[in-house]
Chains A and B, each alone.
Chain A
C-alpha cells in the first residue's frame, strides 16, 4: 500500500509544484462559485421585456402600453416598425407586439380590432410569457369596450350623454376588478425554493468529473515523458500504479471540490456544518467513481489530446444525459438514459442530503451504484491499459 500512496503523494506534490496548474486548479472552483453566486446568489425573479411597436398612436393603444408597463417584472421597450423587424431578423429580440394603425378608432366605434404578435420560432419561454401577458391585458381592455357598447346599445335613444356612459362602464370595470366573479387566491406554503439546492449538486458533480478525468490523463503524460516506462521497470506493479493514480486523481478532485463546497456553504449558506460534512463524504464517493471513469479514458487513449478530449466528451455527455441543468424527467428515452449516468445518482443523493431528507445514511442505493462504477471502471481501465501496452 505504501507504493500507491507514494504515487499519489508525488502526483499531488507535482500539482502543487506547478504554479500554473495550481493557480488554475484552485482558481477554477472559485471562478465557478463566483459565477453561481452572481447568477443565483441574489435570488430568482421574473424579468422580461415587451417590445412594442405603436403604429396607431391612439388613446387605446396608449392605455394598452401603459397597463403593460405597470405589470410586475415587465419592462416595455418602444420600437419603430423597422427597428423591430430588423431586431427580429437578427435574433436580437425574439418577440415584438405590433399595434396596427386604426386600432383605437376601431375599438371606439365598436368594431373588432387586433394586435400582431411576431416571434422567432416559439419566442422562447420569456416570449411566451410576454405573449400571455399582452393577450390578458388586451382582452381586459376589449372587455371594457364590449361592456361600453352593450351599455350604449341598451341606453340608445334615451338621451344619456356619452360621458355618463363612459363613467358608468368605468365604475363597473373597477368594481369587477375589486370583486371579480372568479377570484384567484395565492397562498404561500413553505419558504421560497432555493435554486442553489438544485444547482449545487449538478455543478459539484460536473466539476468533480472534470477535475478527476483530466487529472487521470496524467498516465498519458507520463507515458509520453518516459516516466511510465521507467516506473514499469521498478518493483512497482501495474495494479499499484493504477491504485496510486486513482488515489491521486480522487485526492486532487476532492481538494478542488472542498474549495467549491466551502465557499458555497460559507457564503450562500446552503446548509449547516453537519450537512457540509455529509456532502463532502458523499463527494468522496463521487470523486472515486469519476476517477475510475477517468482512468478508463486514460487507459483507452493513445495521446494526451485523445485523453483530454475524451474526458471533456465523457463529462459533457454524462452532464447532458443526466439532466444536470435541464430536467429530462423520469420517463421516456432521456429518463432511461439519465439512469445510465453516475451523475444522476450523485445529484439525487447530494440533493437529498442538502434537502435534509435521509441524510448520508439514506443514500445507500446511490452509494452502492457509485461504488460499483468505481470498481468496474477500475477493472476496465486496468484491462484497457494492459491492451495498450
Chain B
C-alpha cells in the first residue's frame, strides 16, 4: 500500500497510459488539489475515491484538459495535457457527473452531435451512434427525446456519448448516481466489457462495493491530497483480513467519520 507517496506507482510509468505528477490547483487561494501523483496502466480500471470536496472532480477536470493545473503535469498516451491538449483530447472520453445531454433532442441526435465535435464525419458519427446506443441497450429508443428517458436510461446515454470519440481512456465521474439496481448492473457490465475490449478507465464513485467489484487499483483522496493508493485487496489488508474487512471500513478509517460539505 502506498500512502501519501506516489513513488511506488510511478516506478513503472513507462508502461502506464496515464501519469500524473505533482498536480496542484487552487481556487481563490484555497488549495483544492495538493501535489497529487499517480499512474494508470493500459486496460486498467482505476478508482478515485474520496469524500465530497476531496478534489476528485477537480483532478478529473485537469486530467481531461478542461482545467490547467497550477503545478504539475499529466501525460496521457505519451502526450502532455499542458502542451498537447488537442492530442490528448483525441484519446479521451468524458462521462461527467451531470447528465450532460441536450434533453430536447433525441438520443441519436445527442450522440451524433458530440461525435461530430469529437472529429467524426457525418456518416461515421451516425454509425458510431447506432453502435454505442446498441452497446448501452438503447438502440430501440434512439429517436426518442432524452427528456422522456428514466434516470437510468439517461445515465446510459451519458456513457454512450462519452464513447463516441472511441477513446482509449474513459473518465467516468459517478456514473451510477440515482439509478436502479438493474441499470447499475447494466452499467457495470458495460464498464467491464469496455475494459475487456482494451479501454483504460478512471472511475469515481461514493459506492464502495462498486469500487471493490470493478477497480484494479484505487486511489483515495481527502482534503486535496492522495492519501492512499493500492489494489482493493491491498487497501483492506492494511487494516485486517481482506476477506472480512470492507472497502467502506477502509475508507472511513482513512478519511474519518466527520461529515463533509
Contacts and interface: CB of A to CB of B under 8 A. Distances in A.
Given A233-B92, A235-B86, A389-B66, 19 more contacts: A3-B117, A6-B116, A13-B105, A17-B105, A17-B145, A225-B101, A226-B96, A226-B99, A227-B101, A230-B96, A230-B114, A231-B114, A232-B66, A233-B64, A234-B89, A234-B114, A234-B165, A235-B90, A235-B119
Nearest to B95: A230
A10 interface: yes
A14 interface: yes
B82 to A, nearest CB: 15
A233 B66 contact: yes
A231 B104 contact: no
B116 A226 contact: no
A226 B66 contact: no
A14 B105 contact: yes
B104 A14 contact: yes
Contacts of A236: 117
Instruction: Summarize A's interface: helix, strand, loop or mixed.
Output: helix
Contact of A235 (B89, B101, B109): B89
Contact of A13 (B64, B89, B98, B109): B109
Contacts of A233: 64-66, 89, 92-94
A6 to B, nearest CB: 5
Contacts of A2: 116
A234 B111 CA distance: 13
A20 to B, nearest CB: 10
A229 interface: yes
B94 A230 contact: yes
Contact of B102 (A3, A14, A232, A234): A14
B255 interface: no
A18 interface: yes
Contacts of B102: 10, 14, 227
A238 B195 CA distance: 31
A307 B221 CA distance: 35
A73 to B, nearest CB: 53
A226 B97 contact: yes
A241 to B, nearest CB: 9
B161 interface: yes
Contacts of A389: 66-67
B254 to A, nearest CB: 29
A2 B119 CA distance: 10
17 contacts: A2-B116, A6-B116, A6-B117, A14-B102, A225-B98, A226-B96, A227-B101, A229-B61, A229-B100, A231-B114, A233-B65, A233-B66, A233-B92, A234-B119, A234-B165, A235-B117, A235-B118
Contact of A230 (B67, B86, B100, B109): B100
Nearest to B145: A17
Contact of A18 (B104, B116, B119): B104
A378 B101 CA distance: 26
A13 B94 CA distance: 24
A21 to B, nearest CB: 9
A20 B90 CA distance: 37
Contacts, number: 67
What 10 A-B pairs come out closest when comparing CB atoms? A226-B98, A226-B100, A17-B104, A234-B117, A230-B100, A233-B94, A235-B119, A227-B100, A236-B117, A234-B118
Interface in B211-232: none
Nearest to A237: B86
A235 B161 CA distance: 14
A232 B117 CA distance: 9
B129 to A, nearest CB: 14
A227 B118 CA distance: 13
A226 B96 CA distance: 7
A232 B119 CA distance: 13
A2 B115 CA distance: 13
Contacts of B92: 233
Interface in A66-109: none
A14 B110 CA distance: 11
A229 B97 CA distance: 11
Nearest to A228: B100
B113 interface: yes
Contacts of B114: 230-231, 234
A389 B113 CA distance: 23
Interface string B51-65: 000000000010011
B169 to A, nearest CB: 11
Contacts of A18: 104
B149 to A, nearest CB: 15
Identify the interface centre among A17, A231, A234: most chain B CB within 10 Å of its CB. A234
A232 B98 contact: no
A17 B109 CA distance: 12
A3 B121 CA distance: 11
A229 B171 CA distance: 13
Nearest to A231: B117
B170 to A, nearest CB: 11
Interface string A1-19: 0110010001001100110
Contacts of A235: 86, 89-90, 117-119
Interface in B119-173: 119, 145, 161, 165
